[in-house]
């Protein structure tokens, strides 16, 4: 599975692979992950963590406590402090338990919303993560499928990780690059067509940008059998929208982050199953912290990695809000099902109430409308005016913008909303994976510098729209 010259390293990798594959085989017969196994793995990971500078104050003392060794999982974890994101990004190298030279590849978190965290991959965690994802996807993918990995991230582990998954599954994959900002997709569209690519892996905003490019250049919108969407909050409206546009079954493929690895993976039913064989997960809210045991619950996801001995994360606060569904999935797996609820920072708060991404998208993207369809959107807010900039699949008729505005007006009861079709959106709209929804799709002109984030053609449309409403603005 890994081509490595050094025999000892190759044998160690083979051992890790065999051990994990046999555990996963049990899980895929429907067995739950035994608590004793998780507790044993936790003790092993704590032993590794005791070598890391970041945990020098907490872990060695915990390990020295003989009584603690006999305690249940929740109690052992409860003795450790929570690790906030800011602390990890300030000291990410201090989580390393081995010298940097022992990792396979160096990666970092995107760092667009704060300092980047180092997230290198080692042999063992690459193997475990690949088997975790691969065995879930093997339930609905098979050799003969052709997969396109369209992920743009200079130092992100995801593109390579998915490439390994397809190698593991014996599926041919391609991983072309597209310029971040200009996004010329003609070569990718040609490859999809020529190679009969039937599986897409990537972020929804990237797929939308490609579809938008095809529509604008008179090219056929690509069709797929399956979309495995990652890296962004994807609600039911977005899944339906992308499925309608591409004819594919749209699934949230996996969930996780560069620093934690993949904490949940989809089954054939489109349900994200938590990978409890590799993580102890907790939920945090104003009531406190609970270990995820499969019961219905929700809160901020707190992650302890059981299979990342090179740089263990202990009680890492991800900032992601999730919901554990609490009912078994029809696929037969005993791993609990979760749904993503985005990030708290991605909620728009107005005097009249809050608005979430799903509220906007379920109003904007509707089934079976005979009208031009909205491909993608951005919201520009100026006090109590909102200009919704949209791209469409075909040229809309005269009354279209008003009809669309009246369809979504109820989402913003305290604002006046105008819809304006445009040819191209700001490159910002394709950065949801890095920035989150609010920073990539919502521009508040009350923020200093907001105008400069709009290309000239769009700031002209916004200015003209606001002026037609009697609002005078001066773009900088």
Minimum CB–partner distance for residue 233 and Zn ion (Å): 20
Beta bridge partners of 121: 105
Regarding 209 and contact with Zn ion (CB under 5 A), the answer is no
State which residue, 128 or 329, has the beta carbon closest to Zn ion: 329
Segment contacting Zn ion by CB under 5 A, of 20-28, 218-226, 265-273, 390-398: 265-273
| Secondary structure (3-state) at 261 | strand
Minimum CB–partner distance for residue 274 and Zn ion (Å): 11
Minimum CB–partner distance for residue 268 and Zn ion (Å): 7
Q: Where are the alpha helices (DSSP H) in 85-230?
A: 85-90, 123-137, 158-169, 186-194, 204-216
Segment contacting Zn ion by CB under 5 A, of 112-120, 206-214, 271-279, 416-424: 271-279
Segment contacting Zn ion by CB under 5 A, of 172-180, 313-321, 330-338, 458-466: 330-338
| Secondary structure (3-state) at 107 | coil
Return d(Cα 294, Cα 32) in angstroms, integer: 10
Regarding 269 and contact with Zn ion (CB under 5 A), the answer is yes
x/- contact string, 221-260, with Zn ion (CB under 5 A)?
----------------------------------------
Minimum CB–partner distance for residue 266 and Zn ion (Å): 8
Segment contacting Zn ion by CB under 5 A, of 37-45, 328-336, 363-371, 455-463: 328-336
State which residue, 188 or 329, has the beta carbon closest to Zn ion: 329
Regarding 266 and contact with Zn ion (CB under 5 A), the answer is no
State which residue, 308 or 331, has the beta carbon closest to Zn ion: 331
State which residue, 223 or 269, has the beta carbon closest to Zn ion: 269
Regarding 267 and contact with Zn ion (CB under 5 A), the answer is yes
Write the burial class of residue 111 (CB in 10 Å: 0-12 exposed, 13-18 middle, 19+ buried): middle
State which residue, 156 or 165, has the beta carbon closest to Zn ion: 165
DSSP 471: -
State which residue, 27 or 329, has the beta carbon closest to Zn ion: 329
Decide if 462 contacts 380 (C-beta within 8 A). Answer: yes
State which residue, 81 or 332, has the beta carbon closest to Zn ion: 332
State which residue, 256 or 433, has the beta carbon closest to Zn ion: 256
Return d(Cα 350, Cα 358) in angstroms, integer: 16
Segment contacting Zn ion by CB under 5 A, of 226-234, 252-260, 325-333, 455-463: 325-333
Regarding 278 and contact with Zn ion (CB under 5 A), the answer is no
Segment contacting Zn ion by CB under 5 A, of 78-86, 125-133, 217-225, 323-331: 323-331
Q: How far is CA 318 from CA 57, 255, 441, in A?
A: 22, 12, 22
- Using CB under 5 A, pick the residue from 127, 169, 250, 331 that binds Zn ion: 331
Phi, psi of 309 (to 5 degrees): -65, -25
Regarding 329 and contact with Zn ion (CB under 5 A), the answer is yes
Q: How far is CA 473 from CA 83, 259, 390, 442, 462, in A?
A: 44, 42, 21, 18, 9
State which residue, 234 or 387, has the beta carbon closest to Zn ion: 234
Return d(Cα 218, Cα 379) in angstroms, integer: 26
State which residue, 156 or 272, has the beta carbon closest to Zn ion: 272
State which residue, 212 or 340, has the beta carbon closest to Zn ion: 340
Minimum CB–partner distance for residue 229 and Zn ion (Å): 17
Q: Where are the alpha helices (DSSP H) in 247-342?
A: none
Minimum CB–partner distance for residue 270 and Zn ion (Å): 8
Regarding 461 and contact with Zn ion (CB under 5 A), the answer is no
Minimum CB–partner distance for residue 330 and Zn ion (Å): 7
CA dihedral 407, 413, 418, 421 (to 10 degrees): -50
Beta bridge partners of 340: 322
Segment contacting Zn ion by CB under 5 A, of 5-13, 121-129, 329-337, 425-433: 329-337
Return d(Cα 17, Cα 29) in angstroms, integer: 19
State which residue, 62 or 292, has the beta carbon closest to Zn ion: 292
Decide if 281 contacts 292 (C-beta within 8 A). Answer: yes
Buried b (16+ CB within 10 A) or exposed e, 381-412: bbeebbbbbbbbbeebeeebbeebbebbbebb
Decide if 116 contacts 106 (C-beta within 8 A). Answer: no
Decide if 337 contacts 325 (C-beta within 8 A). Answer: yes
Return d(Cα 130, Cα 167) in angstroms, integer: 9
Minimum CB–partner distance for residue 136 and Zn ion (Å): 9
State which residue, 183 or 270, has the beta carbon closest to Zn ion: 270
User: Residues touching Zn ion: how many (CB under 5 A)?
Assistant: 5
Minimum CB–partner distance for residue 334 and Zn ion (Å): 10
Regarding 271 and contact with Zn ion (CB under 5 A), the answer is yes
Residue owning tokens 């879930």:
136
Return d(Cα 256, Cα 109) in angstroms, integer: 12
Minimum CB–partner distance for residue 306 and Zn ion (Å): 21
Q: Which residues bind Zn ion (CB under 5 A)?
A: 267, 269, 271, 329, 331
């Amino acid at each position: 599975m890994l081509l490595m010259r050094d025999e000892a390293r190759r044998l160690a990798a083979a051992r890790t692979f065999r051990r994990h594959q046999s555990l996963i085989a049990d899980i895929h017969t429907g067995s739950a992950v035994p608590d004793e196994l998780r507790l044993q793995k936790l003790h092993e990971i704590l032993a590794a963590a005791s070598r890391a500078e970041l945990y020098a104050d907490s872990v060695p003392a915990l390990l020295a406590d003989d009584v603690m060794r006999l305690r249940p999982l929740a109690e052992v974890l409860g003795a450790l402090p929570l690790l906030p994101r800011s602390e990890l990004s300030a000291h990410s190298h201090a989580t390393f338990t081995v010298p940097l030279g022992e990792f396979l590849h160096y990666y970092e978190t995107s760092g667009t919303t704060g300092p980047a965290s180092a997230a290198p991959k080692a042999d063992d965690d690459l193997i475990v993560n690949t088997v975790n994802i691969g065995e879930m996807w093997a339930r609905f993918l098979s050799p003969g499928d052709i997969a396109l990995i369209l992920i743009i991230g200079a130092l992100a582990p995801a593109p390579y990780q998915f490439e390994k998954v397809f190698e593991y599954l014996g599926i041919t994959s391609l991983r072309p690059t597209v310029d971040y900002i200009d996004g010329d997709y003609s070569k990718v569209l040609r490859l999809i067509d020529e190679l009969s690519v039937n599986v897409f892996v990537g972020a929804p905003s990237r797929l939308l940008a490609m579809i938008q490019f095809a529509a604008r250049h008179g090219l056929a919108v690509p069709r797929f059998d399956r979309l495995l969407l990652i890296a962004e909050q994807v609600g039911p409206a977005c899944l339906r929208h992308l499925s309608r546009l591409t004819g594919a079954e749209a699934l949230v493929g996996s969930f996780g982050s560069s620093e934690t690895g993949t904490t949940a993976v989809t089954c054939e039913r489109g349900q994200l199953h938590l990978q409890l064989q590799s993580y102890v997960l907790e939920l945090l809210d104003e009531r406190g912290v609970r270990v995820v045991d499969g019961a219905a619950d929700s809160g901020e996801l707190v992650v302890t990695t059981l299979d990342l001995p090179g740089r263990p994360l202990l009680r890492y606060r991800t900032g992601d809000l999730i919901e554990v569904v609490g009912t078994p999935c029809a696929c037969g797996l005993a791993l609990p099902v979760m749904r993503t609820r985005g990030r708290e920072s991605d909620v728009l708060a107005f005097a009249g109430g809050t608005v979430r991404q799903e509220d906007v998208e379920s109003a904007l993207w509707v089934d079976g409308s005979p009208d031009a369809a909205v491909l993608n959107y951005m919201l520009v807010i100026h006090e109590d005016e909102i200009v919704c900039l949209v791209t469409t699949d075909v040229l809309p008729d005269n009354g279209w913008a008003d009809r669309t505005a009246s369809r979504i007006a109820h989402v913003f009861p305290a604002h006046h909303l105008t819809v304006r079709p445009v040819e191209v959106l700001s490159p910002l709209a394709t950065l949801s994976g890095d920035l989150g929804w609010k920073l990539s799709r919502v521009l508040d002109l009350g923020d200093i510098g907001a105008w400069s984030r709009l290309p000239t053609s769009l700031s002209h449309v916004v200015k003209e729209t606001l002026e037609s409403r009697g609002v005078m603005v001066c773009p900088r």
